[in-house]
Each structure stands twice: as structure tokens, then as C-alpha cells.
Amino acid sequence: MKKPIAPSEKTLLSRVEILNQRIQEAKKYDLYPYMHSSDAVEGVHVTVHGRPMLQFASYSYLDLLGHPKINTAAKNAIDEFGTGTHGVRFLAGTTRVHLELEKKIASFKKTEAAVAIASGYGANFGTISSLMGRHDVVISDKINHASIVDGCILSRAQFVRFDHNDMAALERALDSTSAKGGVKLVVADAVFSMDGDIINLPEVIRLCRKFKALLMIDEAHSLGVLGKKGHGIEEHFGIDPAEGLIDIKMGTLSKTIPSIGGYIAGSTQLVNYLRHSIRPFIFSAAIPPPAAAAAKTAFEVIEDEPWRVEKLHKNADYFLKTLQTRGFDTLKSQTAIVPIIIGDEAKALEMTRLARNEGIFIVPILPPAVQPNTTRIRATVTAGHSLQEIDRAINTFEKIAKSLSIIRS
């Protein structure tokens, strides 16, 4: 493969040309790994370009995608309401199904109320940018999701980032900033989407209370994943949600919940404010009723089928420990998201291609999504994998990684 264009040469070509050149180059060597379409999906078994594969890049952590009860709920909602709505939620787009979904989210997250927005991205971006303003300070973990970062920037609040999961750095940030009559908000992912590690919530809560800061936690990758019953990060740390120590609980309906959308759960007052101010809620269309009905039913299935969370925990533990035993660097992951550090971009692309040739679907994560020296395969495990399937994936990774000198032979 041709050497990538060095940053200093970038001025010679437009960004568009550079990107297209990189894509063409990768495609020439069959190394372009993105947007491959699945022709069929059956749990963790997918068919990509006619080739059967085992899915190891899914967000469907509890294997709820295709669950019969959830499918039926979606079909019934189509019969009742059709496939779309009469527009945005704020005006004519709210249906009974949306209100039922919000009630279910609030009861699952043990808050007074919840609001559902058509994307998780919009939930983060819209909430932070509408709540925070010029006189406020927002303090964000350095590897928080892009939707948080974008919301912080748009809010025009003072935007301070602290080193990833570093509580001394968070304390310094809280101590050294002044909200000048405004408020301070600390915001963090519960489970970090690229690293799979968990925010030190008890310490974050202590610091927020000490410095009188509000706290927002993004549960995109912890809903259904953390806690014995999958209720999320508070359950994981044994914190009583009724204490209200997390002011703003955000989550998505597009990962463990096999649908589309995001939510904010919190006090009635907060949710009411957001219903009247989040721009993606007011100016963008409602979640389609079948998707809302599917999401609501998925929360019920998590409660009715607790074995799924147990199996996910067992699988994640086994996957992580076995990879480490075989010599892979998995950073500080503790969850179903497992980064396999490769370092070299070309090797990560080659490992992806070879693994897919052997029927294991994985995705590489390249800079700028992660630091250049931490280019990785981000593998995910779900409740739908058997131990034999996990072994098959690990054996494949080991064989390829040895052949590419990623790990020692």
C-alpha cells in the first residue's frame, strides 16, 4: 500500500482530494473496511457481500435485535399509527407510543421523567447546548463522545477538558474554574465507546458535590450492559438512583435497545425545560412509532429476561481475559467493548481484511477517532455469542496477529 500523505503535504491538495485518494488506495488493496452492507442478519450471524460471518462489531449487547416480542410491537405500531408521524414531537408528532416509551424509560432509570429524542447524538448535543450558556463552565472527559464535544462547543460555555478518567485532573478543573454567576456541569460517558472502561462515578459524584457542579452521564454503552440487571452505571457501583446524584441521565435507543433515538431522564422540571428547548426535539421529526414501540418493549424484555445480562457479563469477562492471556493489549477495558491495540494503521487494516476472510467481522478504529499510536481493532462481544464462537474469533485474531508481528509468536 502507498505511504499515506504526510500532514505537511496536505496544503498541496484539498481535503476532499486527500480523502478520496486514501479511499481509492485502500479499495485497490481490498483494505477499505467501512460501510460494507449486510445482506442478512440473524443474531450474531451476518452475511456480508454473500459471505457468512460472525459479528464482533455489534452494539446489540443483549442480542435483542430481531427479538420476536420487539418485532411484534413494532409491527403493531405500524398498523396503528403508520411508519412516520405528523412532524416534530413539539407540534403534531407526539403519539401515545412516545409517551409510553418515556414513562418506561423514567421507570427503568428511576427518575421522575424522561424525554425521547430522535437520535442519541441530538440528545447530547441538544441538551448541553440548550442548558449551558456563556456564563457557565462545562467540564468534559477528554475522550467523551463527539456528540458531547459538539454540544459543549455550541453552548459557548467555557469548555474545559480533563485527562481521561483522571480524578485529580477533574478536581483541578473544578477548582481552577469560576462559573461567574453561572453553573458548572461535569459530563462523562459511563462506558467509553472506544476504550471500554468505566468512569469512576463515585469519585466524580463526590467532586461534583464538593464543588456544587451538576453532573451529566452518557449511558450509550452502559444501558443493559452495566449492573446485575442491566440498569446501568448506578447499579454497577451500588448507588441508589433515587438519591438523584446524577442530574442528567442520557442514553441511546440504538445500541442495547434495538431501535433509534436517545433520551434524557431526570427531574420533571429538567425534562419539561428540555421539551421546550432542545433544538433536535423541537426542530427535527419524532421517532417513528414502530421504533418507539420497539424501544419501549426492549426495556420490558431486559427486565423479563435477566439471563441476557448475566450471559453478556460472562462473555465479556471470558473474551477480555482470554485475549489478555494470548498477549493482546486491551487497555483498561472492563466491558463488552474491547480495544485490541495494533498501533500501526496498515496492520490494523490488514488484520481486519484477514479476519473477515476467515469469517469474523471486526472494524478498525483509526486516527483521528483515536490517538495515532493507539490505532486499534474495536471488538465487541454480545449475549448472543457462544463460548465456542468467542474462541473461534480469538484463535483467528491470534493467528493473524502473530503473522503480522502484532503479538509475539
* Residues within the interface to ligand PMP (CB under 6 A): 119-121, 124, 145, 147, 189, 193, 218, 220-221, 252, 254, 262
- State which residue, 124 or 396, has the beta carbon closest to ligand PMP: 124
> How do strand 45-48 and strand 337-343 relate by DSSP bridges?
unpaired
- State which residue, 128 or 301, has the beta carbon closest to ligand PMP: 128
Give the SS3 label for residue 106: helix
Among 315, 342, 344, which Cα is nearest to 330's?
342
- State which residue, 232 or 397, has the beta carbon closest to ligand PMP: 232
- State which residue, 262 or 384, has the beta carbon closest to ligand PMP: 262
- State which residue, 169 or 369, has the beta carbon closest to ligand PMP: 369
> How near is the Cβ of 124 to ligand PMP at its closest, in Å?
6
> How near is the Cβ of 250 to ligand PMP at its closest, in Å?
7
- State which residue, 147 or 322, has the beta carbon closest to ligand PMP: 147
> How near is the Cβ of 66 to ligand PMP at its closest, in Å?
19
- State which residue, 205 or 217, has the beta carbon closest to ligand PMP: 217
> How near is the Cβ of 193 to ligand PMP at its closest, in Å?
4
Give the SS3 label for residue 180: coil
Which residues make Cβ contacts (< 8 Å) with residue 157, sequence separation at least 6?
Answer: 132, 133, 134, 135, 136, 137, 138, 182, 185
> How near is the Cβ of 253 to ligand PMP at its closest, in Å?
7
**Can you list the alpha helix ranges (DSSP code H) found in 247-386?**
268-275, 279-282, 289-304, 307-325, 345-357
Among 366, 322, 361, which Cα is nearest to 342's?
366
Among 40, 44, 60, 115, which Cα is nearest to 254's?
60
Residue nearest to ligand PMP (CB): 120
> How near is the Cβ of 240 to ligand PMP at its closest, in Å?
24
| Amino acid type, 172 | R
> How near is the Cβ of 127 to ligand PMP at its closest, in Å?
11
